[in-house]
Each structure stands twice: as structure tokens, then as C-alpha cells.
A and B are shown apart, each in its own frame.
Chain A
Amino acid sequence: MSILFSFFAVIALVVAAYAGVKIANLQFLFGVIIPYIAIALFILGFIYRVLKWGSSPVPFRIPTTCGQQKSLPWLKQNKIENPSSTAGVIIRMALEVLLFRSLFRNLKTQLRDGKLVYGEAKWLWLAGLAFHWSFLIIFVRHFRLFLQNTPSFIKTIEGLDSFLQVGVPLLYMTDVVLLGTVTYLFLRRVFIPQVKYMSLAADYFPLFLILGITASGVLMRYFYKVHIVGVKELAMGLVSLNPVIPQGIGVIFYIHLFLISILLAYFPLSKLMHMGGVFLSPTRNMANNSRMVRHINPWNYPVHVHTYEEYENDFRKKMKKAGIPVEKE
């Protein structure tokens, strides 16, 4: 049900873009207005969400410690998995964000003849990492459309990405990897019963959307050639705030652009905000030093306690009889 809903939602978006451009000739709407709105929603929404998280304090120092603490000088501390310094936290966060450290720990727990067995389970980590890095590289490659002269680092990336030297135009590995990993991420949601059980439309929709974006991009580059000079003109127009709609770009480009716009607009409303959220996660971005440095809770308030005086009043007789010293005889 949530799979079909998400699938048809993305199909509907494709149809809308096709009809809008091909039939209604709304190139300006799909090529300029919607992208502008989407970018604005993305930037403002992203900032809003992060500020909203940031507006809630972190009352306690609650890192999840995944290694030996700092204690006696002769015991080897795990300075990254249980950091006590800012440097340690930065490395921990870098490993988390760049290499998905925690996901790398993943295990598969299986029950065999009444015995539990823990096996390696690195596929999710590998696919997740490949997916995100490919996405990033493809994103960066697209900068060439927004810059008058293509900077050398983009050319380097393109060169590395196509080093297999296959096909004309040269095949980018990241295109293949992105298609493959999105498909994998979708299939595991469908075929692993537990993951299927927990999945919502909000999990399938972004996968279909990204699949649509990637597929339309791939079709454009390798199969249905679009008028690339026109695309660059349009992109340059968008960034220079001088929007133009060159003729004859081809409808598939507008579909691609529309799906990206939807992704951008949808981003701040969705779980995709994990991109920003991971940096704010208190179990990962804090040092385990709260016995060394007092952590302040901004809303710490005085509480009602049962004082020693009250306690002694309750038990003075018994305490004296048991030989326990008391404050008031």
C-alpha cells in the first residue's frame, strides 16, 4: 500500500512535468519558477529545522560510549569511540559522517538450533556508503552547468569517475552505482520482512524519487540526448538570477529538473533531514567527560528532596539505639 502510493506519486510527478512542458508549454514554470521555489524551500526549510533542533538544549552529557573510558593513565583509552576531548569527538563525528562508522558495526543475529549466531552484515553499510558518496559526486559534477568555466577539480572528478573509459559518452561509475544502490535499498525494504514491516510511504517515496531523478539523468546523458548547450544556458540563467528558457532542450530534462525540485522541497519535511541531524546527535557529538567537567543544564531547577533532617526525625530513636551518630540528641 505505501509502496504503491509512493510509486504512483512519483509517476504522477513525471506525468505532470511531461504534460506541463509537452502539452501546456509551461517551460518557464517547470524550468524557472518551480526550481526557484524549491531551492528557497530547501534552504529556508533546512535552516528552520536545524534551528528548531538547536533551540532545544542538551541538558545532559549522554554520549554512547563504545570503548574504554579515560581513567587510569596506564589503561589505554579508546579516544575515538569514547572521546574525552574535542579532538576525539571531531574524529568520531568525521568517521560517522564520512564513513558511517556505526553502521559498519552492523551484525546479523540468527537463531540456529537454539543458539544465537552473530554474522557479518556489511551490505547495508556498503550500499549506504556507495549511495551517499555517488550522490555527492554526481551533485558536484553538476557544478559544471552552473559555472562559466569548468574548474579543474570538477574535471578531475569527472576523469576519475569515468576512468573505465567505456562507451560514448564515457560512462560514469557513480551513475551505475547510484542506480544499483537505490535499487538495493528498495529491494531490501521489500524482501527483508522486518524492514518491510517498519517501512512507511515516507521511506519508499524518496527512493522512487531518487530513482526517477537518476534514471532521467542517465537517459538524458546516454540515450535521449538533450540540447546540452541549452541546459547550461538555463542553469547559468538560474544562478545569475537572469532566467532564460532556451528552445529545444527536450522534455526529459524538465522531468529531471522537476523531480529534483520536488526532492529539494520535500527534503526539509522528511527523514532526509538526517543529513543535518547527524551532526547534532548528542550521543555522538559529545565527549564523555562529565566526571571531569561539569555539564550545565540550562533548565536545571531545584527539586523537593527528603532532607537528612527529616530522615533523622523519622528514625532518631532507632538510630540512637543502633549506635548511629545523630545531629540532635
Chain B
Amino acid sequence: MATKFTAKPDELSKIDYKPPKKGWLDTPAEFKEHTFCWGAKAKNLNIVEFPNARDWSPAEEDWKLPENWQEIVLEGIKDRLGKYRSFKLFMDICVRCGACADKCHFFIGGGDPKNMPVLRAELLRSIYRKYFTASGKMLGKIAGARELTLDVLKEIWYYYYQCTECRRCSVFCPYGIDQAEITMVGRELMNLLGLNTDWISAPVANCYMKGNHLGLEPHTIINSMEFFLDDIETITGIKIKPTFNRKGAEILFVTPSGDLFADPGTYTAMGYLMLFHELGLDYTWSTYASEGGNFGLFTSNEMAKRLNAKIYAEAKRLGVKWIIGGECGHMWRVVNQYMDTWNGPADFLEEPVSPITGTIFENAKSTKMVHIAEFTADLIKNGKLKLDPGRNNHLKVTWHDSCNTARGMGILDEPRYVLRNVCNHFHEMPEDTIREKTFCCGSGTGLNASENMDLRMRGGFPRANAVKYVRNNYGVNMLANICAIDRATLKASMEYWVPDVSVCGLHELVGNALVMTGEKERTQDLRLEPLPEKEAKE
């Protein structure tokens, strides 16, 4: 179907930032190979009852649009202007100062001016002006307004699937204009026309029917977990028996299904299992609510709510007291900023209290959902875990703040506290690339497909560049994070840009360091690689 992506890193990092001579209003998008994802398939859209479902390809001239597509888009814009103050305001108040321009990883890594957040927004603003403002109607192009033509629609599609909703632009904007909000609306508009991508709509359909993005059926979840339970036994001599869909458990645990599927996420899942076992935690997994992530968020507000609803529904059915959420970026954007509003109030749950330390998680008293890094940090602070950080001595670790957890939540120091307690070698990346200024992995919001590697590697360039810096200066060889998409995508990005750096989740390192009751002398880490000789005690 397509050629293989073969561009070498040194070619890709030659970036031309010079904008073209011709103005952006008159330059249609050029669909470059390896920069976009395949179109959504009819069967997946039909599963979730989405309109205008059909098989289509962005690469083809004919997108098989419904006849009244313009009307649908304009009606869709109008509807959303009335529903979201953010959208309406962000259509109006941008002064185009350009502070956001060189903050976007796609612009930094690609140089395409339409990937400056301001211009990405202007693509939609130009339509808004033309049809919804007096000046745009009267002055047209002079006011930056233009007709909604097929070319313009395609351009919006192209660039709104080149934004990972990472909110970095919004940190620097003097009015807090958040391209994520605008991209969300833009993608909703595309979904009115059946123009989702396959890489997003298939996981959405899977998640809807089977409970998780990967489409793991209940027995498969158990089967795949058996593999790492065996590995844990090999490493520690301890056989762990987690429970599934168990009524009456105190805690429901929900994590992205990516953790159950492919490494290095699976090592993180092993870390969870070991930690909970060691604590004797009364908790259960669910096969119905077996997805913490939410590709619905990259589709539409309604779809995100529909997928997210399972978590509270399952917590209610099982009669648990509260919920712990695993390591995932956009999952936590959802839990922190949307879940309670959509599907709350969770009045059938109790205010979360750690059964081990007695700590009341006041910051989660309404959602009743606690982040595992908060949970583990509290355990360590209260001295409830026996840790041997020396078991991670072969790793020189740096910390990647995920965009959603950094800028849509602010969980920055909990994981760092855990990290400092479970490993001895931790080096921060340069300050302009971490915490609220952190860079996206380059493949979030469902852009982690295989057909858009050019885009992904460009988008991952700024993050990789900062990793390279700590690799060169401190010998860093491990990039730790709390996001399943990061674990999947940074792996590819590191292999491409900084080949000798691996990627891991926080709880993989916890699992390595955790001294478990009755464990045998460990000789391997969770990857079944030999542990380094323990350094001589001082």
C-alpha cells in the first residue's frame, strides 16, 4: 500500500523553518507520505453508531463526503460555539503574537508553519470568521476569512491530526489559548463527517464492545497476565494470584490495556502486581472496565464519556470503596478534568483512604480515584515499603513528564519522589523541557500508528533531543514515565533518535526495588535481564 519510512535521523533533523512565500490562506495542504493515518473503517464507526460511516482514504482525491458536508460542519461549529466558552473565546481573542509558534513539537521538528499552534487554530478561525462574524462576512480575506471549500476541509483534517493536544502552547499563551480545546472541536467536526482515523476508531470500537482498546477479551486478559505472573515467579519465587471482577473488594484497579499487552508496559504491570501483592491489598481488576485510557477523548466529548462511564459503573457493580488508576497520561487528563463531571457523582463510593497508611486522599474526595504514583509516594513516605534501590543501579534514569499529567493535572513531584527512592541514579533533563514545559512524545492523541512515522519522529524530536543531552552528559540509559502511550511511542522514538536509551514505567522500577516478603535472592530484573553486581555498601 505504501512505501517504507526510510528517512535517516540526520536527514530528518535538517529542518527548514522558513515559511513559504505564498500566504497560508491560499496554500492547500499537501498530503505528504508518512505524515497521516489511514481513514476510519465503516464497521468501527457503525459499532459506536457514528454518522457517515464508510471506508475512505485520506490519500485519495474523493473522500466520499455526504452531499451536505458544509452544512454539517457549519452547524457543528455553531453548536459548539454555544456549548464551549473556551472554543468561542479562543476563536476571538488571539492577537497572533506568535509566542506559541516555536513551542509545538510538530513545528520544532518539522518546520511547517501550519503546525505553529496559532496557525493551526487560524485554519478553523478563518472559517469561523467567514460564517460567524460580521467583519469576516464583509471583509473576507482582508479579515483572514475564507470559504469552507473541500481543500480547506482537507487542510483542517490534515493538521488537526498533527496536534497531540499536549497543551504546551497554552502554557506560553498570554490568554491561555489552548490548541487542545480547538483540536478537540476540530476533530469532533471531522467525526460528524465520518472522518476519523482507523488508528483511533478501531480502539474506540474495541473499547466500547470489549472493554479495552486492544480488544482483549476477558479470558485473554487473564491469559496474557499469566505470562507475567510466571515471570514474576521466576524472578522472585513468589506466585501472585490477582483477582478479576471480584465483588466486595475494597479497591478497583484500572490501568491502560497497553500495560497488559506489549513491553515495556508489561513490566510496569508486573510492578503493580508485585506492589499490590506485597501490601496484601484487597483489590480487583476488571475485564469490563479494563481500559484506563480513552481514545474517545480523541474522537468526541460524547464518545469519551461513553467509554469512561464503564469505570464508575463497574465500581458500583462490584461494590468497591474507591479506585486506583494506573500509569497513563490522557487517562489522567480525563480522570482529573472530565470524569466526575461526565459520569459522577460517585456517591456510591467512599472517600479514598489508604488501607496501609491511613492517609486520606483529600484531593480525590469527589472522584474517589487516586493516581498510583500518589498512592505509592504515600507508602514510601510512611515507610511502608522495603526498597533496595541498588537493584536499579544498572539504570541511569531520567524522567519524562507526560503532557496530560503535567499540564492537565500537575502530578510532577509524586513520581519524582518515588523515583528517588527506588533508584540511585536520576538526572533531570534541561528545565525548559520538563514539568509544565515538558515535550510530548510526539505520538499522543491516537497518532501512534505505523503509517505516519515521519510525523511521529519529527514530533518526537524535541523530547529525544533533551534525552540525548542527558545521555551524553550523564550516561542516562533509561527514560521513565507514567504514560502507556509514552511507553509504546517513546520506545520507537528512542530507537530512532537515541538508540541506547530504553523506556520504562515508574512501577517497573518500583517492582525492581521492592523487597518482597519471602522472595528469593533476585538475580534478574523485571525484564529478566541479569542484575548488576550489588555495589559495595559504604
What residues of chain A have their CB less than 8 Å away from a CB belonging to chain B? Answer: 2, 5, 49, 52-62, 64-72, 74-76, 78, 81-82, 84, 96, 100, 102-103, 105-109, 111, 114-116, 118, 124, 128, 192-203, 269-271, 273-274, 277-278, 280-284, 288, 290-297, 299-300, 303-308, 311-312, 314-315, 318-319, 321-325
CB-nearest residue of chain B to A203: B96
B535 part of interface (Cβ distance < 8 Å): no
Residue in contact with B465 in the complex, picked from A58, A81, A116, A203, CB distance below 8 Å? A116
The A interface is mostly helix, strand or loop, or mixed, namely loop
Per-residue A-contact encoding for B355-392, CB less than 8 Å = 1, 0 else = 00001011111110100001001100100000000000
Pick from A53, A107, A324: contact of B103, CB under 8 Å: A107
Taking the closest CB of chain A, its distance from the CB of B517, in whole angstroms, is: 25
Whole-angstrom distance from the CB of B487 to the nearest CB of chain A? 22
Contact A198:B119 (CB < 8 A) given known A106-B99, A295-B340: yes
Q: Is the CB of A294 within 8 A of B135?
A: no
The reply to whether the CB of B396 lies closer than 8 angstroms to some CB of chain A is no
How far, in angstroms, from A179 to B174 measured CA to CA in the complex? Answer: 22
Q: Is the beta-carbon distance between B142 and A5 smaller than 8 angstroms? A: yes
A199 to B94 CA separation, bound complex (whole angstroms): 11
B485 in contact (CB, < 8 A): no
- Proximity string of chain B (158-189) to chain A, C-beta cutoff 8 Å, 1 when within and 0 when not: 00000000010011111111100100000000
Contacts of A297 in B (CB 8 A): 341-342
Taking the complex as formed, is B54 at the interface, i.e. its CB lies under 8 A from any CB of chain A?
no
Contact between A118 and B432 (Cβ–Cβ < 8 Å)? yes
* Residue of B whose beta carbon sits closest to that of A118: B432
How far apart are the CA atoms of A150 and B92 in the complex, in Å?
38
* B341, A60: Cβ atoms closer than 8 Å: yes
List of 8 A-B pairs having minimum Cβ-Cβ separation, nearest first: A69-B410, A277-B93, A283-B176, A65-B410, A322-B219, A197-B19, A118-B432, A284-B176
Complex Cα–Cα for A65 and B102 (A): 20
Interface residue stretch chosen among B195-203, B310-318, B419-427: B310-318
User: Chain B residues with Cβ under 8 A from A107's Cβ?
Assistant: 102-103, 172, 432, 437
* In contact, A65 and B409 (Cβ under 8 angstroms): yes
Contact sample, A vs B, 13 pairs, CB 8 Å cutoff: A56-B84, A107-B102, A107-B432, A109-B462, A194-B17, A269-B135, A274-B94, A281-B89, A281-B177, A291-B369, A294-B344, A295-B340, A297-B342
In angstroms, Cα B103 to Cα A102, docked, is 13
Contact A198 B116 (CB under 8 A): yes
- Per-residue CB contact flags for chain B residues 402-434 toward chain A (1 = under 8 Å, else 0) read 000011111111100100000000000010110
B524 on the A face (CB < 8 A): no
B96 near A59 (CB under 8 angstroms)? no
Known interface pairs A56-B85, A72-B374. Does A300 touch B340 (Cβ–Cβ under 8 Å)? no
Interface segment among B229-237, B240-248, B473-481: the answer is: B240-248
Quick one: CB contact mask for B111-122 with A, threshold 8 Å, 1 for yes? 001001011001
Q: Tell me if A102 and B306 are in contact (CB < 8 A).
A: no
Q: How far is the CA of A194 from the CA of B113 in the complex (A)?
A: 7
CB distance from A162 to the nearest CB of B (A): 30
Given A105-B171, A273-B93: A59 and B247 interface contact (C-beta under 8 Å): no
Output the residue of A69, A295, A312 with the most chain B CB within 10 A.
A69
Contact pattern, B 75-107, Cβ under 8 Å of A = 1, otherwise 0: 000000111111111001111111101110000
Report the nearest A residue to B211, measured CB to CB.
Answer: A311
Interface pair A68/B413, CB less than 8 Å apart? yes
Chain A residues with Cβ below 8 Å from B96 are 195, 198-200, 203, 271
Query: Which B residues fall within an 8 A CB radius of A?
Result: 10, 13, 15, 17-19, 23-24, 49, 81-89, 92-99, 101-103, 108, 113, 116, 118-119, 122, 134-135, 139, 142-144, 167, 170-178, 181, 208-211, 217-219, 222-223, 244-247, 287-288, 301-302, 305-306, 309-310, 313-314, 317, 335-338, 340-342, 344-345, 359, 361-367, 369, 374, 377-378, 381, 406-414, 417, 430, 432-433, 435-437, 461-462, 465-466, 468-469
State whether B247 touches A115 (Cβ < 8 A).
no
- Of the candidates A61, A102, A198, A306, the one having the most CB atoms from chain B within 10 angstroms of its own CB is A198
Q: Is the interface of B mostly helix, strand, loop or mixed?
A: helix
A100 to B95, CA, bound (A): 14
- B252 nearest CB across to chain A (Å): 13
How far, in angstroms, from A147 to B4 measured CA to CA in the complex? 75
Contact among A75, A280, A291 for B414, CB-based, below 8 A? A75
- When C-beta atoms are compared, the residue in chain A nearest to B24 turns out to be A197
Min CB–CB distance A36 → chain B (angstroms): 21
**Which of B119, B172, B378 counts the most chain A CB atoms within 10 A?**
B172
- Give B328 Cβ to nearest chain A Cβ, in Å: 15
A-B contact count (CB 8 A): 316
Known: A53-B85, A271-B94. A59 touches B341 (CB 8 A): yes
Given known contacts A69-B411, A319-B219, A109 and B102 CB-to-CB distance under 8 angstroms? yes
Q: Is the CB of B178 within 8 A of A62?
A: yes
Q: Which residues does chain A contribute within 8 Å of B374, judged by CB atoms?
A: 71-72
Q: How far is the CB of B404 from chain A (nearest CB, A)?
A: 10
Residues B410 and A53 in contact, CB atoms below 8 Å apart: no
Cβ contacts under 8 Å, B430 to chain A: 118
Are A102's CB and B176's CB within 8 A? yes
- The answer to whether B287 touches A324, judged by C-beta atoms less than 8 angstroms apart, is yes
Residues on B with beta carbons closer than 8 Å to the beta carbon of A55: 82
Q: B88–A56 contact, CB under 8 A?
A: yes
| Alpha-carbon distance A325/B525, docked complex (angstroms) | 33
State which of B102, B217, B222, B410 has its C-beta within 8 Å of the C-beta of A82: B410
User: Which A residues are CB-close (under 8 A) to B102?
Assistant: 107-109, 194
Checking B218, B337, B433, B465 against A115 with a beta-carbon cut-off of 8 angstroms, the contacting residue is B465
Given contact pairs A64-B407, A274-B175, A303 touches B309 in the complex (Cβ within 8 A) = yes
User: Given contacts A192-B98, A282-B89, could you give 9 more A-B pairs where the C-beta distance is less than 8 Å?
Assistant: A56-B81, A65-B436, A103-B174, A107-B172, A115-B468, A288-B409, A291-B335, A292-B366, A307-B313
Decide: A319 and B287 in contact? CB cutoff 8 A. Answer: yes
CB A268 to nearest CB in B, in angstroms, measures: 10
**Chain B hits for A59, CB < 8 A:** 83-84, 301, 341
> In this complex, what residue of A is CB-closest to B284?
A325
Interface centre among B122, B209, B288 (most CB of A within 10 A): B288
Nearest CB in chain A to that of B25: its residue: A200
B338 and A60 contacting across the interface, CB-CB below 8 Å: yes
8 Å CB contact of B113 from A52, A198, A277, A325 = A198
Q: Are B363 and A280 in contact (CB under 8 A)?
A: no
Q: Which of A68, A102, A291, A300 contacts B366 (CB 8 A)?
A: A291
Contact (A118, B433) CB under 8 Å given A56-B88, A194-B17 = yes
Rounded to whole Å, the gap between the CB of A113 and the closest CB of chain B is 10
Chain A residue contacts of B335, Cβ below 8 A: 291
Instruction: Answer whether A64 and B178 are a contact pair too, CB < 8 Å, given A59-B341, A269-B135.
Output: yes
A100-B174 contact, Cβ under 8 Å, with A58-B86, A67-B412, A74-B381: yes
Given contacts A75-B414, A201-B142, contact A294 B366 (CB under 8 A): yes
Return chain A residues, CB-CB under 8 Å to B363. Answer: 69-71, 84, 291-292
When the two chains form the complex, which single residue of A54, A69, A75, A102 contacts B409, counting CB atoms closer than 8 Å? A69
Q: Which of A62, A109, A128, A304 contacts B181 (CB 8 A)?
A: A62
In the bound complex, CA of A239 to CA of B411 (Å): 54
In the complex, chain A residues whose CB is within 8 Å of the CB of B340: 290-291, 294-295
CB within 8 A of A194: which of B116, B143, B414?
B116
- Select which of A102, A199, A308 is within 8 A of B174 by beta carbon: A102
Q: Is the CB of A72 within 8 A of B341?
A: no
Cα–Cα distance between A56 and B86 once the two chains are bound (Å): 9
Within 8 Å by CB of B18, from A58, A193, A203, lies: A193
Check A198–B99 contact: CB distance below 8 A.
Answer: no
Is there contact, CB below 8 Å, between B88 and A53?
Answer: yes
Say which residue of B17, B171, B245, B345 sits within 8 Å of A66 (CB atoms). Answer: B171
